[in-house]
Chains A and B, each alone.
Chain A
């Protein structure tokens, strides 16, 4: 005795469960139930008492009881056609869903392809360009305004300096030193002896007195001359100091103007340096923004490509223009069919995608040999041979819808 998992199916499905029941009303068919339950088969001979499936059980029962063959066969065919009908419905729904998915996928592909290689969005690119232009204009305006203010300050400073030193030079020219130059010069007092005339009247020579007066006059003249000479020297020094002041003012003006020019040049250079630095900073930021936008665009492009690849990988998009999958037209299974024709029709119900949900429904389709046996039994029944309105009429009226 061996333990075998039955997978006897031309459709590549596992064999149905082994649940058996003689009462059809209690039958609650579950195709998946018991699919993996190992079935113990007595391989000692054909007379094994364990049916392989529900249809096998029906066939055995029909064979065992000819009177009930017609009913059993009718039930079996009804079951087959009902399962096929359900399968057909599922397949139609699946086909419709597949068509919708394919249409959606085609639209999605179309959209993704339209977005592919779009590059930086125009709004972002335009915004970056606008920021670059406005930023540069702002920097240029600021620099121009600062330069204008600097020039105004330089003009004002130069004017103030010139005014200050001009006032000084005008003052020096307008007020020459006069203290020593115009100082009262000493005039020696020349005196005569007051006793000369009296001495002459007294018969005394005035020479001695006059001599003393002359000496005094000489002394007075010397003193006055010295004083005047001192005043002249001091006046010359005073004039020299005035000239020195004037030259100092002129030199101070020139030096101060040169200093202002130097400061102005330095400030102008610094301003220009600041302007260039600001422009460089702005351009660096703009370049970084463009680079970031390009990076994001590349990432988005890559994501779109990945999405297209994933979409193509689903198989919903026909490669090379392959038309969408169309379910095959399956002829109805009727008792008038030959077993081969019925099997052929049933085999066409096999899904193209083995992982499709409808595959679960296919598990309810009986095995080929069971179908053949059921057809054979049905063709032997009185209704089929024209004896009544039972199985044959029912079989004819309940053809599998395709």
Chain B
């Protein structure tokens, strides 16, 4: 087969198109994963402090309010039950947030890795394309020499 640069240009465009499609899909999935990962974190944060009228977190955990209504917490009141409950809540909250953040980070790293692999595949594909082109040129040159 005689050397035809158009074939390799078409293959190059195909590689870029394929990369663009897969990278776009990966980016979109990453976005969805991030949204999904952020949601439990936000829920846990909101569960502790609630929301202000402006949309921000509240200053007082909602847990305190329930203990106050039962007389276990308030001005001058520091019951052991409340302390224990607050410690347990804080420990579980931090642990849950840690898990959620790590899950989100891991998920996002997976998408990042996928994106990097897609880029590496593109680079490798382009290099393979250049190699194939060089080999085709060499074969054409050899065929030229073999002409009688």
Contacts and interface: CB of A to CB of B under 8 A. Distances in A.
Contacts of B94: 193, 195, 209-210, 212-213, 216
Interface string B75-103: 00010001100111111111101110110
B121 to A, nearest CB: 8
B32 interface: no
A20 interface: no
Contacts of B95: 212, 215-216
Contacts of B117: 179
B116 interface: yes
Interface string A174-185: 010111100110
Contacts of A216: 94-95, 97-99, 101-102
B142 to A, nearest CB: 6
B97 A168 contact: no
A217 B144 CA distance: 66
Interface string A26-40: 000000000000000
A165 interface: yes
B102 A219 contact: yes
B98 A212 contact: yes
Nearest to B95: A212
Interface string B127-138: 100110111111
Contact of B144 (A160, A175, A219, A238): A160
A285 B29 CA distance: 85
A394 interface: no
B34 interface: no
A232 B92 CA distance: 35
Nearest to A230: B113
Given A183-B112, A195-B93, A216-B94, A249 B134 contact: yes
B90 A189 contact: no
Given A154-B145, A216-B101, A202 B133 contact: no
Give the interface SS of chain A, mostly helix, strand, loop or mixed: helix
Contacts of B130: 167-168, 171-172
B119 interface: yes
B24 to A, nearest CB: 17
Contacts of B93: 195, 209, 212
Contacts of A203: 78, 83
B79 to A, nearest CB: 11
B119 to A, nearest CB: 4
Given A160-B141, A189-B105, A191-B97, A171 B127 contact: yes
Nearest to B144: A157
Contact of B138 (A160, A172, A204, A220): A160
Interface residues of A, number: 68
B127 A160 contact: no
B123 interface: yes
A183 B118 CA distance: 12
B90 A234 contact: no
A220 B91 contact: no
A302 to B, nearest CB: 50
A224 interface: yes
Given A161-B141, A219-B98, A198 B61 contact: yes
Interface in B45-70: 45, 48, 60-61, 64
Nearest to B73: A202
A157 B145 contact: yes
Contacts of B87: 199, 204-205, 208-209
Contacts of B98: 191, 212-213, 215-217, 219-220
Contacts of B45: 194
B33 interface: no
Interface in A225-260: 227, 230-231, 234, 238, 241-242, 245, 248-249, 252, 256, 259-260
B102 to A, nearest CB: 5
B147 interface: yes
Contact of A175 (B60, B89, B92, B127): B127
A68 interface: no
Given A156-B144, A168-B131, 9 more contacts: A157-B141, A159-B141, A175-B123, A199-B90, A204-B82, A215-B95, A216-B94, A220-B101, A220-B102
* 8 tightest A-B CB contacts, nearest first: A216-B98, A164-B137, A209-B90, A179-B120, A212-B94, A157-B141, A168-B134, A160-B141
28 contacts: A161-B137, A161-B141, A164-B133, A164-B134, A168-B133, A168-B134, A177-B120, A178-B119, A179-B117, A189-B105, A194-B48, A196-B90, A202-B82, A202-B83, A202-B86, A208-B91, A212-B91, A213-B97, A213-B98, A216-B94, A216-B99, A223-B102, A238-B120, A249-B131, A259-B142, A260-B141, A263-B146, A267-B146
